Structures are given as C-alpha cells and as structure tokens.
Copies of this chain bind each other. A is one copy, B any other.
C-alpha cells in the first residue's frame, strides 16, 4: 500500500540535524510529505548533512505558521506524546494505531505530528489531534530523540503497508531424499576417514543430524555438504580402496 497520503508534521523543531535525520527516515520508508509548523531558525548545514540522499525531501518541505494550518486538509491527526497523564490515557502504541492509519490513508491525508525537542506539543496543539500515539519505552527513559520517534512511526507504517519483502532464497529447500543421500555420504566418509568406529556410527549420526538439522537446508547447502564428504573420502584414499574392495570391507565391519 502507498504511503503517499502520510504527512509528517514537525512542530517548531530546534535542531537542523534532527530535521535532516527525519528526512532520511522518511526516505527509507517511502514517505515524502514534510511540513514544519511554527518554524524556528534551523541550522540548514546540519540538516543537509544528516539528510544525506534524502535532501530532495528536505528541499521540498512546506512550512506553516500554526499546526492547525499544517493539518487543515488531514482527516486523522495523530499526535505523539511521551508524557503520560490526563488526556493521554487513550494513547496507543504505533503498532496499535497502524491499521487505523493505513485505512484512513486509503481515502485521505493523515498527519503524524511531532512536538518540539524542548517542550513537545502544547495542550492546544494536542487538542487538534484525533489520536495520540505513545512509543513504548522504559519508564526510566521516556524521552525519545525527535528523529528516532519519527523513524519508529514511519517504520511501523512501512512494515504494515506490505511494500517490503524479505530477501528470498534463490536456492529452494532440499527434498528429503537428497538430504538422506547427504547423510549417507557423510556416514561413509566419517567411517572412511576413521572419524568413528562402525559400532558408534548410529549414535554419531544422531549427533550429526542434530547439528545439521537446525534450520532449513537449501539445495545449495546440501550440495556443498555432499561435496565436502566426497572430497574427504577422496583425500583419505577411500575411493581407491573402495575400488580395491576396501569399501566392502568397511561395510562389513560396520555390522
């Protein structure tokens, strides 16, 4: 789902570096609409430095005198608040609000509003918000850096929007039959190189299955493991011995 209807509103940010970091976080998560309300002078050099490749978002930012103006065309207005207390009892986490926000995004603009680094949002500004979001923190350290707070909210929306797919394994999962051939080959090899005695083989194979059995094996994984076993057999001279009947002897002695 497209996050084109999400607007980030920073109210009176103090530090250019934070504004730049906000732009970079927005860029990472596909959000581009930035409005600065009640602006104060910003160090734009720091802002550009922290924005990195997200400079176009920084350059395209809008400003407005008041928060009311910045969110005038927005349906949902989500305020962030670190303080706990009166009027903030309805606060929920970003993850809890995310479905509501994404639903609203489908039909109109949604504003995520972040207060000043030094004094947050005024009660008047908070009253403009239809929803309050509170980012989980420990009770001992509730004040989150402005750009970090923006990043968490954007990240939750981006993850929930379903635009991201985990990297895919190019090699499929190995089928059981091939995996069993691998274990067979390793059993042979471990006998051939003298790693285990034939009467300990069953027990040792249980251990090897446990070691190699953690997590999925792809076709490539299994081929690598089979290659190692074959090479070890070859290096130990087992394949030659086998041609000379040595292999048969090993199989016999295994019983």
Complex formed: what's the CA distance from A170 to B159 in Å?
32
Looking at the assembled complex, report how far the CB atom of A143 sits from the nearest CB atom of chain B, in whole angstroms.
7
B141, A93: Cβ atoms under 8 Å? Answer: no
B164, A136: Cβ atoms under 8 Å? Answer: yes
Q: Classify the secondary structure of A's interface with B.
A: loop
Interface flags, A123-154, vs B, CB<8A=1, else 0? 00000000000111110111111011001100
Residues from chain B with a CB closer than 8 A to the CB of A145 are: 21, 24-25, 50, 52, 147
A197 within 8 A of B: no
Residues from chain B with a CB closer than 8 A to the CB of A96 are: 166
- Looking at chain A, what size class is its interface with the partner chain? 35 or more
Give the copy number. Answer: 2
Within 8 A of B (CB), among A42-95: 50, 52-54, 84, 88-93, 95
Chain A to chain B contacts (Cβ below 8 Å), 17 pairs: A21-B148, A25-B145, A25-B148, A27-B138, A28-B143, A28-B144, A29-B138, A30-B141, A53-B143, A89-B168, A93-B164, A95-B159, A134-B167, A135-B155, A137-B158, A138-B164, A145-B147
